[in-house]
Amino acid sequence: MIHSSELPVNFYTTGSWDRAVEKRGDIEWFHASLRNPSTQIHVVWQGRTLVRHEDHAVLNILNAATYSDLFDVARSVVLLGCDEEAAHIAIDISAQPESFVTSLGDAVDLRAIGPLLPPREASLSALARGMAYWHERHTFCGVCGTPTVSEQAGYQRRCTNASCNAVFFPRIDPAVIMRVEYGDRILLGRQASWAPGMHSVLAGFVEPGESLEDTVRREVHEEVGLPIGEVRYFGSQPWPFPSSLMVGFVAIALDDTLNLNREEIDSAAWFTREQLINSPEDETFKLSRKDSISRALVNDWIAQGR
C-alpha cells in the first residue's frame, strides 16, 4: 500500500516512542517516575490539551519535579510511555479552576491544533486525551455501582467492592471509514452539522455481530443505497474525538445510482480526480482535515491517477 497523503495515514498513532507496557505493573517505578525531574507531564483539562502560551504549535510539557503536587489533585494519571529521554505521563486536572490552568498554559482542543503538531507530540496528546476521557467515564463500576480505582499505570480500573472485583479496560469504539469507488469516480458526502462545504468519504460505527466488511456494506447501503462488491483494507487510525478507532477500507460499488437516506446524510455525489484536485477548499467545497484517514483515503486515490 502506498500512501501519498501529505501526512501519514497513521497520524496520532504510536511512533518514535515506546508505550512501555512492561512498566505498567511496576508500581514502585511508576511512583518514582512521578517525582523524577526528567519525567515530562502532559496535561489534560476538561478534554483539552494544555499548550504553551507562547507557541501553540508546541505541546506544553511540564517538568514533573516542579509540578509534582498536580499528581495529588489529578482525576487520572496515566503512563503514556517512554523515549530515550524520559517517561511521559498524562494527568487530567479537570477539577482545577480555569485560573490555575491558564497560569500554566492555554487549554486548547486537540481537534484544532492536532494537524499543527509534530506527529510524535500529536500521538502523545491523542493518547493522553483518549485515556482521560475513558477514566472520567469509568469512575463507578458498571456492574455494581461502587467506585473504581486505577491500576496498571492507568490501563485498567478495578471495582473496590471486594465481592464484585470487576476489572475494566480502556474502551475504544471501532468505526469503518470507506472510499466508495465506481469506475473513475469516488463518492463523497456531507452531514448538515459539518462545517460549510466539508465533504468526506462515508463512515459508520461497527455493531455487535458484524465483521468490519459487513459494516462497510451496511453503512453504504443505509446512507446512499448502493450495493458493494469488493471491500479491501486500507489502514487504520486512532481518533480520540472522543474514543474511536477508524478502520479504513476501499469499497467497490456495483452501481452508481444514489438513493440518499436524508436522516443519515445531507448530500452525497460522485467526484472525479479532476474535481478533487481543483477543490476550492472553501465554504462551497472542501475536503476533510489533513490529519484524518478520510483525507488520506482521498489523497491516495488522487495519487493513483497520476
- Residue 159 as a binder of Zn ion (CB under 5 A): the answer is yes
Q: Which of 180, 178, 188, 185 is nearest to 305 (CA)?
A: 185
Nearer to Zn ion, 14 or 146 (CB): 146
- Residue 175 as a binder of Zn ion (CB under 5 A): the answer is no
Query: What's the distance, Cα to Cα, between the start and end of the chain in Å?
Result: 16
Determine which residue in the list 161, 243, 275, 279 makes contact with Zn ion, applying CB under 5 A.
161
Nearer to Zn ion, 94 or 146 (CB): 146
Question: Residue 47 gets which letter from DSSP?
Answer: T
- Residue 254 as a binder of Zn ion (CB under 5 A): the answer is no
Segment near Zn ion (CB under 5 A); pick from 28-36, 76-84, 90-98, 161-169: 161-169
Q: Is the Cβ–Cβ distance between 216 and 257 less than 8 Å?
A: no
221-224, long-range: CB < 8 A, 24+ apart: 222/261, 222/264, 223/189, 223/260, 223/261, 223/264, 223/265, 223/268, 224/180, 224/187, 224/189, 224/258, 224/259, 224/260, 224/261, 224/265, 224/268
- Residue 164 as a binder of Zn ion (CB under 5 A): the answer is yes
What is the three-class DSSP state of 53? Answer: coil
Nearer to Zn ion, 166 or 265 (CB): 166
Count of residues interacting with Zn ion (CB under 5 A):
8
Segment near Zn ion (CB under 5 A); pick from 13-21, 32-40, 74-82, 152-160: 152-160
Determine which residue in the list 95, 143, 277, 303 makes contact with Zn ion, applying CB under 5 A.
143
Minimum CB separation from Zn ion for residue 139, in Å? 12
Minimum CB separation from Zn ion for residue 166, in Å? 5
Minimum CB separation from Zn ion for residue 161, in Å? 5
- Residue 144 as a binder of Zn ion (CB under 5 A): the answer is yes
Other Cβ atoms less than 10 A from the Cβ of 163: the count is 7
Minimum CB separation from Zn ion for residue 157, in Å? 10
Cross-strand partners of 148: 159
Question: Residue 39 gets which letter from DSSP?
Answer: -
By CB under 5 A, name the binding residues for Zn ion: 141, 143-144, 146, 159, 161, 164, 166
